[in-house]
Structure 1
Amino acid sequence: MSSNTSNSLDSLYQEHYAWLVKWISRRTHNWGDAQDVAQDTFVKLLGRPDKLENVRSTKAWLAKIADNLVIDKVRREILERNYLTMLANMPEAQVPSAEQKWETLELLEQVDRLLNGLKPKEKLAFLMVRLEGMAYKDVAAQLEVSLSSAEKYVAKAMMVCYTNMFGLD
């Protein structure tokens, strides 16, 4: 990173960190989370210093990055809560170890990121076919859609996964 970029990122942080924390805390109602997300916002910028040069509205840009991070955080909390609820209903002998729980949560997050942007029925159709091994006709029946729609949902999900994984259009 050039010293110019480093200086501009440093001044960006100095000028906008406090504002960003306040902005996020109004959305999350949690000062600690707001500080974490604001910090993560600037950390994210460290990996993309080239983006600093073409910004028109600094506050809007920072707010958009922070908003995406808040959404990711909420999505993770929902995944975690649902997973923990499922574990609570399992027989004790089948409950995975702490390490297995953590690995599963990480995997669930990765899958969720890959399926980002899909409608719920598209996600569900994909998961039913790819994870549960269901036939398309069974997926169609369960989702109450045509066979053609079920096939299209899975095809779209596969394309979204590929695009999200490799960043290609």
Structure 2
Amino acid sequence: EPRAYLTTVAKGLLVNWYQRQSLERAYLEALAGLPEEQVPPPEQRLLVLETLHEIDAMLDSLPGRVRRAFLLSQIDGMKYEAIAVELGVSLGSVKRYMQQAFRHCLEVMA
């Protein structure tokens, strides 16, 4: 059905737009807290925003537990053992999640 297809596409575009707006708002709020001399020029801000959107899309395409393990490791600096406890999985599972996340990142970048 063409109408159902168009509705699905429109919903997807709307969700993407809201996610993009939320990410941009968070970035601009972070910039507002910086001293004037540390605020990047508009061209650089645009590049950073585009990169943030690409990273967000890359992370969003990962399965939930893989994304969570990756973020706990890379953002929170947690060790694999602590991530295993946090997620309630084995250390081997965390290692597999991280391999999957890194492999996915490399594939997307290529």
Task: Note whether the superposition's TM-score is higher than 0.5.
Answer: yes
Closer, same or farther: CA 70–159 of 1 in aligned 2, 3 Å: farther
Residue 144 of structure 1 pairs with residue 86 of structure 2 = yes
Paired with 1:162 and 1:62, the residues of 2 have a C-alpha distance of 33
- Identify the residue that residue 28 of structure 2 maps to in structure 1: 84
Structure 2 residue runs without a partner (length 5+): none
Paired with 2:71 and 2:52, the residues of 1 have a C-alpha distance of 12
Closer, same or farther: CA 80–160 of 1 in aligned 2, 3 Å: same
**Structure of higher CA gyration radius:** 1
Closer, same or farther: CA 109–140 of 1 in aligned 2, 3 Å: same
Closer, same or farther: CA 70–88 of 1 in aligned 2, 3 Å: same
Identity of aligned residues (%): 34
- 2:60 partner SS: coil
> What RMSD over aligned residues (CA atoms) do the two structures have, in Å?
3.2
- Identify the residue that residue 25 of structure 1 maps to in structure 2: none
Asked if structure 1 preserves the Cα contact closer than 8 Å seen for 2:73 and 2:83, the reply is: no
Cα shift readout 1:101-126 (whole Å, capped 9, x = no counterpart) = 11000001111111223366643542
Residue 105 of structure 1 pairs with residue 105 of structure 2 = no
Give the TM-score normalised by structure 2: 0.70
> Which of structures 1 and 2 has the larger relative contact order (alpha carbons within 8 angstroms, sep 6+)?
2
Asked if structure 2 preserves the Cα contact closer than 8 Å seen for 1:125 and 1:150, the reply is: yes
Structure 1 residue runs without a partner (length 5+): 1-56
Give the TM-score normalised by structure 1: 0.49
Q: How many residues are matched?
A: 107
